[in-house]
Amino acid sequence: MKLLFQYGQLNTSDMVYRLGTNYVTTLGNLRLLESEGILKNRLSGRARFFRFANTLKARATIKLLEEWEKK
């Protein structure tokens, strides 16, 4: 979530590269956050881009990340 906060939107492969994680695990976590209404995605060709949704949960998460960045 911190990466999406910093960059606005990223595709799954970019996040995997930047985090040094497994693709399947990362995509599973992103889909979980999407099912909770925190993220949304759009498909562009074969790339799936994720960003924060415009929901109460997403806005609360963004506020939390903003406070986290202040420290």
Read off the CATH number of the domain in which 46 is found.
1.10.10.10
pLDDT in tens, 32-52: 999 999 999 999 999 999 999
CA distances to 13, 57, 62 from 47, in Å: 8, 25, 24
Taken as a whole, the chain contains a residue count of 71
Q: Which of 36, 56, 54, 50 is nearest to 2 (CA)?
A: 50
pLDDT-based confidence at 70, cuts 50/70/90? confident
CB-based contact 13:47 (threshold 8 Å): yes
In this predicted structure, what is the pLDDT of residue 20?
Answer: 95
Domain count, the chain: 1
Give the global pTM.
Answer: 0.87
pLDDT-based confidence at 64, cuts 50/70/90? very high
Q: Where are the beta strands (DSSP E) in the chain?
A: 9-11, 39-44, 47-52
In this predicted structure, what is the pLDDT of residue 66?
Answer: 93
Domain that holds residue 63: 2-70
